[in-house]
Amino acid sequence: DIQMTQSPSTLSAYVGDSVTISCRASQTITTWLAWYQQKPGEAPKLLIYRASSLESGVPSRFSGSGSGTEFTLTITSLQPDDFATYYCQQSKSYPLTFGGGTKVEIK
Amino acid sequence: QLLESGGGLVQPGGSLRLSCTASGLTFYYYGLSWIRQAPGKGLEWVAVVSGDSDDTYYADSVKGRVTISRDNSKNTVFLQMSSVRVEDTAVYYCAKIRRMMLLSGAAFDLWGQGTVVTVGS
């Protein structure tokens, strides 16, 4: 199985900051990576697919990059609505696996 | 949208069937998964079924204890759970694969609100 490791597990930032979340795969997944945002009590929401493709309706301040085993999610000009937990997920092979999550908190 | 049902309290070793009914999409075209989240924990993928039911995959943690199936005439996907364990306690989400007709490269662009399964006495 492919293991997904996210860092950091928690991130504190101010509104307006730019933040980066990392995700590492235990083996190459080319660009088969997705990013999700989850708020408390809600279902996850797809932000990015194929490592860097922005899902329809998602603000352009969200961007994804990377290939192989190293990936990043960047949020530029953090907004109050962006404080949430973010997960990466590999879709290279089954069983699908998620990273452990990164909680973005208000500083 | 996707609407899950069937969750509840079940004793260890018992059985439960979860349902997820879709509306507003061409159901047959899309693979569907169940993904769960234990209290205070991260997301765990559980199972997937292709649009035509020909292909299914399971997480090792549930293999042999759960069966995913679908009824395209009712726009519904099911998760039959048996021999449940305390560690199966979670919110269970139904989620649709973004790409039509394919299970590969699965990213999930539509999620239900979740149904809560609690395993205990």
A44-57 tens-digit pLDDT:
999 999 999 999 99
Inter-chain contact B43–A89, Cβ cutoff 8 Å? yes
Please report the pLDDT score of residue B102 as a whole number.
Answer: 83
Phi, psi of A56 (to 5 degrees): -55, 130
At A60-83, the pLDDT tens digits run: 999 999 999 999 999 999 999 999
- Closest CA of chain B from A99, distance in Å: 8
Q: How confident is the model at residue A38 (pLDDT cuts 50, 70, 90)?
A: very high
Whether residue B44 lies within 8 A of chain A, CB to CB, comes out as: yes
Phi, psi of B16 (to 5 degrees): -160, 145
> From CA B33, how far away is CA A39, in angstroms rounded?
20
Q: How many CB atoms lie within 10 A of CB A65?
A: 14
> From CA B68, how far away is CA A8, in angstroms rounded?
34
Burial B50-88 (b: 16+ CB within 10 A, else e): bbeeeebbbbeebeeebbbebeeeebbbbbebeebeeeb
> From CA B48, how far away is CA B105, in angstroms rounded?
12
Of A46, A94, A99, Cβ closest to residue B108: A46
Which residue positions in chain B have pLDDT lower than 70?
none
Cβ neighbours of A49 in B, within 8 Å? 98, 107, 109
- Closest CA of chain A from B45, distance in Å: 6
Please report the pLDDT score of residue A52 as a whole number.
Answer: 98
Give the pair of three-digit tokens for residue A107.
């500083």
